Each structure stands twice: as structure tokens, then as C-alpha cells.
Amino acid sequence: MRASCLHRLIFAGLLALLQAVCVTGYVSGAMADTRVFAAASLKTALDEVGQLYRLETGNGMVAAYAGSSVLARQIAQGAPADIFVSANTDWMDSLDTAGQVRERMDLLGNRLVVITGASGSTPTGGPLTIGTGRVAMAMVASVPAGIYGREALTSLGLWDDIEDRAVQTDNVRAALRLVAIGAAKSGIVYQTDAMAEPRVQIFGTFPEDSHTPIIYPAGLLTGARSESHAFWQFLQSEAAQEVFRAHGFLIPEVPE
């Protein structure tokens, strides 16, 4: 087997492994624990919110993290979940239209950034020059971070240069890991992802007007059990919002 072919096979296997690891199923917990399906980019912050909730109330939550598109499809097919937090409004809208959302709110906001390895050299030519080599990003046709990324790159006239070099992953945390381990030279992720990974550095931030506003809607699902209402309220508390802010999320203003 030629070396180049072997290299591609190894890289493809590594990518598949990373994407599988990032789709995290429910951890063990009590039957009364609130079941949350949440976008992969929320994992670090939402795990901390869940720990705080258990300390303050004695109750718990268990979470499944993956791309919003994957989770929305699973919920539509009957997966047992009480709360869904998406990284964009489209996937929440699809469930809402199907009558599967009882209540919803705009929970969080975020920013889109370019990252490189923390110990590597950064691209030259400007704050949003992606440079050469592979560019890790979430799937541009279905995963919110990838959709925002392609939208921003297209707006800035950079997509044609990036398209053939883009390594598309099932969720944004998989893209983050590719840059962290050096399998991709740069990546496009959320600001909060970059803050959660010490092996990467933020090289540039996309202008907010280059893409649709990044909104994380949360939905209390029609099949939610009564015990999940308490965690639904806790997500809106100042204690939870302080955790989200500490991890770099934005808190949308509530209309008066």
C-alpha cells in the first residue's frame, strides 16, 4: 500500500474515532434525573451546571451530547428526553412544528472563532486568514457550527479557498479535538470550545454580521416528566447563568 493511501486511511480512522467519542450517551443516574439532549459545544458548561444543580437541590440531570441535527432526529424518532438544547433555532423549530416542544426559550449566545494549535505557528496575512493545511469544522450542511462557519466564510469571500481543505466532523467538539491533537492545522469552532481546550489558541473572531446570530434555544419537550420542570427553571437561574458566562457564553437579553 502506498504511503499516501495509508496516511489517508489512518486519518479517516482517527476522525471516525473522535466523532464516536464526542457523541456521549447518558451517564448512569437515578430514574428521576432530568434527561437532557444538548449540543456538543455545551458539554463543559452544562456538566458544571448539572453538578451545581445536584449540590443545591439533591436532584440530578443526565446528558447526551452530539450535533444538534443528530439529537433532533433522535428526539423526533422517540428518544427519551425531557429537555433539548440546540445550537441553532432551525432544529428546535423542526421539533416545535411537529408539536414536540411544550415550552422554549433563547438560553444562550456564542461567537465563532478561528483556532490553531497552542504550540504551533499561526497563519499569516490577517486575523481571518486560515492559512494552508486542513481546516477542521463541523458538517456545513447540518451541524450548526458548520452552517455558521460556511455562512461566515462565504460572506468574507473565503469559502472557495477553504472548501477542498475542510475536514467536516459530526459535531464541533470533534473539530476542536482535531486541532488540539495536531491532525488539522486550524479549525472553526465556537469561542466557548476554544476556551475549554488548553491545546488550542484563538487566532481570530468572525465579525458578528458575517453570519446568522448564534442562538442556543432550549425546549421543554412535550414528553417531559414532571421532575424535569425544576431543572428547566434552574437553567434560567442566575446561578446557572454565572456558570455559562464563565465559560464564555453570552446571555440573551430578555424583552421587557
Under the banding of pLDDT at 50, 70 and 90, the label for residue 217 is very high
Write phi, then psi, for 223 (nearest 5 degrees). Answer: -90, 10
pLDDT (tens digit per residue) in 90-133? 999 999 999 999 999 999 999 999 999 987 655 554 445 576 78
Which residues are CB-contacts of 99 (< 8 A; sequence separation ≥ 6)? Answer: 222
24: pLDDT strictly greater than 80:
no
pLDDT (tens digit per residue) in 139-155? 999 999 999 999 999 99
pLDDT value for 32: 76
Rounded mean pLDDT of 192-200? Answer: 96
Write phi, then psi, for 111 (nearest 5 degrees). Answer: -125, 155
pLDDT value for 132: 77
| Least-confidence region, from 12-21, 35-44, 93-102, 145-154 | 12-21
* Residue among 47, 57, 41, 10 at smallest CA distance from 27: 47
Rounded mean pLDDT of 195-224? Answer: 96
Q: Is 99 in contact with 150 (CB distance < 8 Å)?
A: no
pLDDT value for 128: 55
pLDDT (tens digit per residue) in 163-172? 999 999 999 9
pLDDT value for 256: 52
For residue 226, the tally of other CB atoms under 10 A from its CB is: 8
Domains, the chain, in order of start with CATH, read 22-109+214-246 (3.40.190.10), 112-210 (3.40.190.10)
67: pLDDT strictly greater than 90:
yes
Percent of the chain with pLDDT over 90: 79
When comparing pLDDT for 15 and 119, which is higher? 119
Write phi, then psi, for 75 (nearest 5 degrees). Answer: -65, -45
Question: Cell triple for residue 205?
Answer: 473572531
Distance between CA atoms of residues 233 and 88, nearest Å: 21
| Least-confidence region, from 20-24, 54-58, 100-104, 222-226 | 20-24
Distance between CA atoms of residues 164 and 173, nearest Å: 21
Distance between CA atoms of residues 23 and 132, nearest Å: 29
22: pLDDT strictly greater than 80:
no
Q: Which helix (H) or strand (E) holds 190?
A: strand 186-190
Rounded mean pLDDT of 34-59? Answer: 96
In the chain, which ranges are continuous DSSP H helix? 3-22, 43-57, 68-76, 89-97, 144-155, 159-162, 172-180, 191-196, 228-235, 238-246
What does pLDDT average to over the chain?
87
Q: Is 21 exposed, middle or buried (0-12, 13-18, 19+ CB in 10 A)?
A: exposed
